Chains A and B, each alone.
Chain A
Amino acid sequence: MEEKQPHIVVEDLTMAYGDFVIQQDLNFCINRGDIFIIMGGSGCGKSTLLRILVGLKAPSRGRVFFDAIDFWGASEMEREDLMHRMGILYQSGALWSSMTLAENVALPLREYTRLNDAQIREVVALKLALVGLAGFEDYYPSEISGGMRKRAGLARAMALDPEILYFDEPSAGLDPISAKRLDDLILEIRDSMGATIVVVTHELASIFAIGNNAVFLDTASKTMIASGDPRQMASSSPDEGVQRFLTRGDTFTV
């Protein structure tokens, strides 16, 4: 393997809603080209962590670095610039319901590039073809299935060729075959575009199939209790909770 380059570094992060601390003392590093999994029980703060990483919510303490730029210490302008380099797939797709799929994908291109209409149409066709939705340009989100909506959301997330792609529970609500296909797509995107990918998920199959690095957030102790390769976590984590999570409570190796 080539030298690992840190892409996102989280230092001493504490996140809270008002006085209510969700997680504290988070320290981890996501390398360039990683598929990084954020896991943990329901309500432990995974979505909140994602909101901080994508710039929707400020941390109460600690810092997040992108390529050594302090994300929350930077000016508004710099932060916005960094945000354009990220793509996000929201849990329910979050497609704009009054626009067709093509218009959904075209909006970021229209706002942040100087492409003309014909060029935008070509890029949109390419992105939709990449997620297997060629020919569905003129459909509205309400006219396609849940899995297709998720893929269309991915096409929109990829519109600006982001360096970092975030996924919030990508396989939730998908059948096993579609979930597997989405996993393959994520792997393919990482390999061919060289993007760094951060995934919030509890799907064990996905965690082991795509993740090469991970962090486990614990609700009780309000901090991370494990990090690293999920396969190693499953086999040799000293923490019983982590093992139980990763083996669905089937085995107890204490």
Chain B
Amino acid sequence: MRDPAGSASCHVDHKADGLAEIRFEGDWRIHADLPSFADLVRRIESLRPAAGITFDSRELKAWDSGFLTFLRKLMVHCQSKQIAVQVEGLPEGARRLLQLATAVPERQGARREARRTGWLARLGGSTIAYIAATKDMLAFLGEVVTALGRLVTGRARFPYRDFGVLVQDCGARALPIVSLISVLVGLILAFVGAVQLQMFGAQIYVANLVGLGMAREMGAMMAAVIMAGRTGAAFAAQLGTMQVNEEIDALATLGISPIEFLVLPRMLALVLMMPLLCLYANLMGIAGGFIVGVGMLDLPFKQYLVQTQNAVALNHFMVGLVKSAIFGVIVALAGCLRGMQSGRSATAVGGAATSAVVTGIIYIVVADAIITVICDILGV
């Protein structure tokens, strides 16, 4: 255990010829209650030591940084008041440390001043930042497209082995969570529909509701939201950590484009797997509706199946699949963009992952709305 802290004190005595002597006594460690610096300054000022200050530390029992910070303040004060200080009376170690602390002078211009900005300047600043961020995003998109062009013409460095792992991660490994969520969404759709349709004796239309709902909207949407949370965040965290470890710089200095080597495989893996996941989610959702229809509404098994087949034509599935491919691009782009933009700290990587999910989900919903309107106009 550390010894319990004793008490510390300092006295200022008037010596002959305008000299003042500061006497330190007791325990001057950081844990102790140290005397007030302002009091000491007041006493020094009342004495007006024309010839300077000397120290006496014979009664000083123990000291550490607490003593040193006190002395540093005193030195700065004396310098500003042009009082000469004779350090001989200080403990040898303290003298050397004080000297060490001043050995490397502060580098000019290194210190950062906190600046205050008005709200108008801040508004302007964030607008400019927003424009810059949009430009970055477009530039990123452009780079990805040119990289894709190089890949198609066979001139890109494409890591086929990583690609396999990524496909597995975006595909097969996501099945359990997609199954769970889709079955539940199917159940919920069927349940909510059943309560209303039963009032008209039209229970059988639960099959239409669930089939159409899953195929056109919910299958693609749920798969995309799951993948944004699961894989988009993972992409951002992976690339962000690589940014922290200078791994991306290492690739760039080797002349390997990080876009081709890191971003492209992730995008392709997700874009390829997303429609498959969507199809799978559709089936699972319809199965969920089936559980409610057959189990709760006592609809005949065969009738439910036929009703579903008649309600959901192939073009409805196509709408869902096209959507899901587009959502795949969005999720992968958001994840990779945020990861590549990540700063070099633990917080920045966390922020990149969060931002990847948020950006991803926002754009998924916006894109979904746009596609729905287009489909309505085209009449598909």
Contact = CB atoms under 8 A, between A and B. Distances in A.
Given A119-B69, A123-B65, A127-B65, A191 B93 contact: yes
Interface string B85-108: 000000011101100111111110
A126 B68 contact: yes
B97 A130 contact: yes
A76 interface: no
Contacts of B345: 97-98, 140-142
Interface string A115-138: 100010011011101101111111
A126 B69 contact: yes
Contact of B100 (A119, A138, A192, A194): A192
A95 to B, nearest CB: 10
A137 B94 CA distance: 23
A81 B31 CA distance: 14
A136 B110 contact: yes
A132 B110 CA distance: 12
B348 interface: yes
A176 B367 CA distance: 58
Contact of A130 (B66, B100, B111): B100
Nearest to B30: A113
B19 interface: no
Interface residues of B, number: 35
B65 A97 contact: no
Contacts of B110: 135-136
B69 A122 contact: yes
Most chain A beta-carbon neighbours within 10 Å: one of B65, B97, B104, B348: B65
Interface in A24-69: none
5 contacts: A97-B244, A123-B66, A129-B101, A140-B345, A188-B96
Given A97-B344, A97-B345, A138-B112, 19 more contacts: A81-B2, A113-B31, A115-B30, A123-B30, A123-B66, A126-B72, A127-B65, A130-B97, A133-B104, A135-B107, A135-B111, A137-B111, A139-B112, A140-B345, A141-B345, A188-B100, A191-B96, A192-B93, A193-B93
